């Protein structure tokens, strides 16, 4: 990968939240309801505009190696990747916590 490609890739990355800007409520849980028994990891509490939310979802899907979507301001990642998602969000500067059992 050349330097221009790296710069373009870095330009589209999602930045960490500023201190105290609604980031305290980021939760990563698991849901199966309404999905035919298939589980998804659900990330709620992110206060980002839709384009940045979709970019963050793209980065997380790539990190987990699976699919997912953004619905109503909530990121859904296919499968149970809660621990990996919490670690990745924390690395990116979001104070995420695991919710549920």
The domains of the chain, with CATH numbers, are 25-98 (3.30.780.10)
Q: What whole-number distance in Å separates Cα of residue 14 and Cα of residue 55?
A: 7
Distances (CA, A) of 68 to 8, 19, 57: 23, 28, 8
Q: What whole-number distance in Å separates Cα of residue 7 and Cα of residue 27?
A: 31
Which pLDDT value is given to residue 6? 56
Say what the pTM is: 0.76
Which pLDDT value is given to residue 34? 85
Which pLDDT value is given to residue 23? 47
For residues 77 and 66, is the Cβ–Cβ distance under 8 A?
yes
What pLDDT tens digit does each residue of the chain (101 aa) get? Answer: 556 555 555 665 555 555 544 545 899 999 998 888 899 999 999 989 999 999 999 999 999 999 999 999 999 999 999 999 999 999 999 999 998 86
Which pLDDT value is given to residue 75? 96
Which pLDDT value is given to residue 100? 83
Which pLDDT value is given to residue 36? 86
Which pLDDT value is given to residue 56? 95
């Amino acid at each position: 990968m050349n330097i221009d490609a790296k710069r373009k890739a870095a330009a589209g990355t999602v930045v960490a939240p500023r201190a105290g800007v609604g980031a305290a409520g980021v939760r990563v849980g698991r849901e199966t309801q309404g999905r035919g028994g298939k589980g998804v990891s659900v990330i709620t509490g992110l206060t980002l505009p839709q384009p940045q939310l979709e970019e963050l979802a793209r980065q997380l899907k790539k990190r987990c190696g699976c699919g997912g979507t953004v619905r109503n301001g909530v990121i859904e990642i296919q499968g149970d990747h809660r621990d990996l998602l919490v670690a990745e969000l924390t690395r990116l500067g979001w104070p995420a916590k695991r919710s549920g059992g």
